């Protein structure tokens, strides 16, 4: 069977529910992982999602900031949350699918929102950047990464690092810009290697080709012409899923919708 997973930093699920509804009607992924829902759990639009066929939802939200959700067409066996850096902010949620979703073996989908890191790439001067680096260090050693070495796992989300040269519009100009600095890239790749995670998106788009999922609001109406993007959103698969990804799409068109998120959805279909 096939199992499709989409990831999207929606930048307020209540504000942009019409866009989410439009996206789901068009692509109908089995699972949609949202980041920056900016919504406490008791205010999440559960009924609105249920009305369009997505009635199984794992939530980890908070008022006004952060927040992640796994939204599914299928029931899941269990859900869990991880916390990082001694903080209680809502940056991780997972759902494990098996018999209820008609899968022969367990599959866990992890949804992450890694700290953006502020504007100054110096942990001594910027506590937000210090937090981001610590988060990436903990990602490399946490249970999510350890479990990936032997279990079927998919990790998606706004990981807020554009690691490769062509994941940004200008490698040279971005080296001192948060999201593409060498220290972030090193820690990011260490976390990925620690779980033997597969970079699914780059399995479909070669390293020498540009690949973006985010375009700044600062570009306003000319974002498309300027095309100064970054790949901040990622899909990783554990070694047990090597070769299972069948296709991948970055839905760039949503960036041009009315009141868009600055991120666009990424969809990957796996053969399980």
CA pseudo-torsion sign 125, 218, 170, 137:
positive
Distance CA 28, CA 265 (A): 12
What average pLDDT does range 66-81 have in this prediction?
98
| Three-state secondary-structure class, residue 265 | coil
Tokens of 14: 């209540």
Q: Which domain holds residue 172?
A: 2-271
- CA triple 268-271-272, angle to 5 deg: 120
Angstrom CA distances, 83 to 78, 80, 160, 241, 256, stand at 17, 10, 17, 26, 34
211: Cβ–Cβ under 8 A, 6 or more apart, which residues? 166, 167, 201, 202, 205, 231, 250
Dump pLDDT digits (tens) for 200-258: 999 999 999 999 999 999 876 788 888 999 999 999 999 999 999 999 999 999 999 99
List for the chain the helix, strand, coil content (%; round to 5).
30, 25, 45
In a 3-state reduction of DSSP, which class is residue 52?
A: coil
Residue with tokens 């062509």: 166
pLDDT in tens, 107-158: 999 999 999 999 999 999 999 999 999 999 999 999 999 999 999 999 999 9
Distance CA(169)–CA(176), nearest Å, equals: 13
Number of domains forming the structure of the chain: 1
Percent of the chain with pLDDT over 90: 97
Evaluated on CA atoms 71, 75, 76, 81, the torsion sign reads: positive
The model carries a pTM of: 0.97
CATH number, domain with residue 72: 3.60.10.10
- The percent of residues in the chain predicted with pLDDT above 70, rounded, is 100
């Amino acid at each position: 069977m096939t199992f499709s997973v989409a990831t999207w930093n929606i930048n307020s699920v209540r504000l942009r529910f019409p866009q989410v509804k439009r996206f789901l009607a068009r692509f109908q992924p089995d699972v949609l992982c949202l980041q920056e829902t900016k919504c406490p759990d008791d205010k999440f639009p559960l009924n609105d999602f249920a009305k369009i066929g997505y009635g199984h939802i794992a939530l980890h939200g908070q008022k006004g900031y952060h927040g992640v959700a796994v939204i599914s067409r299928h029931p899941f066996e269990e859900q869990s949350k991880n916390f990082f850096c001694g903080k209680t902010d809502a940056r991780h949620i997972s759902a494990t699918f098996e018999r209820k979703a008609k899968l022969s073996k367990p599959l866990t989908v992890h949804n992450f929102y890694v700290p953006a890191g502020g504007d100054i790439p110096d942990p001594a001067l910027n506590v937000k950047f210090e937090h981001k680096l610590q988060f990436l260090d903990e990602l490399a050693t946490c249970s999510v990464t350890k479990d990936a070495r032997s279990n079927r796992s998919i990790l998606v989300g706004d990981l807020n690092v554009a690691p490769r040269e062509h994941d940004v519009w200008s490698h040279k100009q971005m080296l001192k810009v948060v999201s593409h600095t060498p220290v972030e890239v090193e820690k990011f790749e260490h976390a990925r290697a620690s779980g033997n995670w597969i970079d699914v998106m780059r399995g479909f788009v070669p390293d020498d080709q540009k690949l973006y999922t985010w375009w700044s609001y600062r570009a306003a109406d000319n974002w498309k012409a300027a095309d100064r993007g970054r790949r901040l959103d990622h899909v990783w698969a554990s070694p047990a899923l090597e070769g299972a990804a069948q296709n991948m799409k970055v839905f760039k068109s949503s960036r041009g919708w009315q009141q868009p998120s600055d991120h666009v959805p990424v969809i990957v279909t796996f053969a399980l």
